[in-house]
């Protein structure tokens, strides 16, 4: 939208942009900056891709023969767990990048620009989404190479991918807040692994939850990552005839994951933006 301002001797067009449009443009600009940074740092992309490949090969080829899953082949059972683990681990890039930007003083430079306070966080989490999307493609190709197959309809398959990526996006806001809360970038790795390892390994990602001791089984059945894994298995058609725990979160995994995504966005997006605003105001 433009308006015309009359100056002596001429009329000057003046652009009038809505705050929403400015917000989208700021977020898109920072997103492009972070995606370009990934392109210029191929080592980041290589290691982000190599890790899921390593897990696929390690569990399917090394441990697969020793793990028996009732009602389905272990490779079919495994891949949804690998997908979930990778997108959750991929969300940590937001935390480490925010911690690094704070250390290098980049936030101070952003503060001098006429931009939305949330644009930096939006661009950071969006670039994580791009990186996780690339990892998903590589993982699926690796899974196909070791025998994994999709046994559902194309819409269900696409819904499974969308659910995994949407969960990773919401979790990126959690990690971005954590990255702004630690003192140094070196701390973020230890802090994030203390969260990620229990969530991913005390779950149904790699073994059925009913094989775990009672306390761990209860944790696994109510673990949001377990719901994400179960939802992905159902949407990719990899459940087979394996028994599903008679727990609401396991019986309705897609709904559970959507509720978890909504809660993370509602709680952590404003919390992270408020944290960033306070930091940049110092």
pLDDT digits (tens, 9 = 90+) for 85-96: 988 888 887 787
Where would I find the H helices in the chain? 19-40, 42-57, 74-90, 92-104, 106-111, 119-145, 154-181, 185-201, 214-222, 224-236, 248-251, 253-280
| pLDDT of the residue at 92 | 81
Helices 185-201 & 74-90 angle (0-180, nearest 10) = 150
Residue with tokens 């230890």: 190
Q: How many angstroms separate the CA atoms of 90 and 263, rounded? A: 20
Q: How many angstroms separate the CA atoms of 81 and 201, rounded? A: 10
State the pLDDT confidence band at 158, using cuts at 50, 70 and 90: very high
| pLDDT of the residue at 80 | 92
Backbone angles phi, psi at 54, to 5 degrees: -60, -45
Q: Tell me which range, 3-7, 15-19, 266-270, is most confidently predicted by mean pLDDT.
A: 266-270
| pLDDT of the residue at 1 | 43
Please say if the pLDDT value at position 48 is more than 60. yes
Please say if the pLDDT value at position 115 is more than 90. no
Asked if residue 199 lies in contact with residue 88, where contact means CB atoms within 8 angstroms, the answer is yes
User: Following DSSP, what letter does each residue of 146-161 receive, concatenated?
Assistant: TT----S-HHHHHHHH
Q: Tell me which range, 6-20, 23-37, 224-238, is most confidently predicted by mean pLDDT.
A: 224-238
Q: Which two tokens stand for residue 218?
A: 């209860």
Residue (of 143, 226, 258) closest to 151 by Cα position:
143
| pLDDT of the residue at 167 | 95
| pLDDT of the residue at 12 | 46
Residue 233 CB neighbours (<10 A): 27
SS3 label, residue 4: strand
| pLDDT of the residue at 161 | 95
Q: What is the pTM of this model?
A: 0.84
State the pLDDT confidence band at 159, using cuts at 50, 70 and 90: very high
Where would I find the H helices in 91-153? 92-104, 106-111, 119-145
Alpha-carbon distances of 124 from 171, 253, 258, rounded to whole Å: 12, 28, 22
Q: How many angstroms separate the CA atoms of 58 and 6, rounded? A: 70
Query: Which residues face 4 on adjacent strands?
Result: 13
| pLDDT of the residue at 35 | 72
Where b means 16+ CB within 10 Å and e means fewer, 148-169 reads bebebeeeebebbbebbbbbbb
């Amino acid at each position: 939208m433009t308006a015309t301002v009359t100056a002596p001797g001429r009329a000057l067009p003046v652009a009038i942009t809505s705050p929403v449009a400015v917000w989208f443009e700021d977020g898109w600009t920072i997103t492009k900056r972070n995606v370009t940074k990934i392109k210029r740092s191929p080592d980041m992309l290589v290691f982000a891709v190599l890790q899921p490949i390593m897990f696929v090969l390690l569990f399917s080829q090394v441990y697969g023969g020793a793990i028996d899953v009732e009602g389905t082949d272990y490779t079919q059972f495994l891949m949804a767990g690998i997908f979930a683990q990778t997108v959750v681990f991929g969300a940590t890039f937001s935390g480490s990048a925010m911690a690094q930007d704070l250390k290098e003083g980049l936030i101070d430079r952003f503060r001098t620009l006429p931009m939305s306070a949330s644009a930096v966080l939006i661009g950071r989490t969006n670039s994580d989404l791009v990186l996780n999307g690339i990892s998903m493609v590589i993982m699926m190709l690796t899974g196909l190479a070791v025998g994994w197959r999709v046994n559902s309809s194309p819409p269900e398959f696409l819904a499974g991918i969308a659910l995994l990526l949407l969960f990773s996006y919401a979790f990126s806001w959690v990690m971005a807040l954590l990255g702004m809360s630690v003192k140094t970038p070196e701390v973020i790795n230890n802090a994030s692994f203390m969260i990620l390892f229990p969530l991913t390994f005390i779950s149904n990602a790699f073994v059925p939850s009913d094989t775990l001791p009672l306390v761990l089984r209860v944790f696994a059945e109510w673990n949001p990552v377990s719901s994400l894994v179960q939802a992905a298995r159902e949407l990719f058609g990899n459940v087979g005839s394996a028994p599903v725990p008679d727990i609401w979160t396991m019986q309705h995994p897609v709904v559970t994951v959507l509720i978890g995504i909504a809660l993370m966005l509602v709680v952590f997006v404003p919390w992270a933006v408020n944290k960033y605003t306070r930091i940049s105001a110092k």
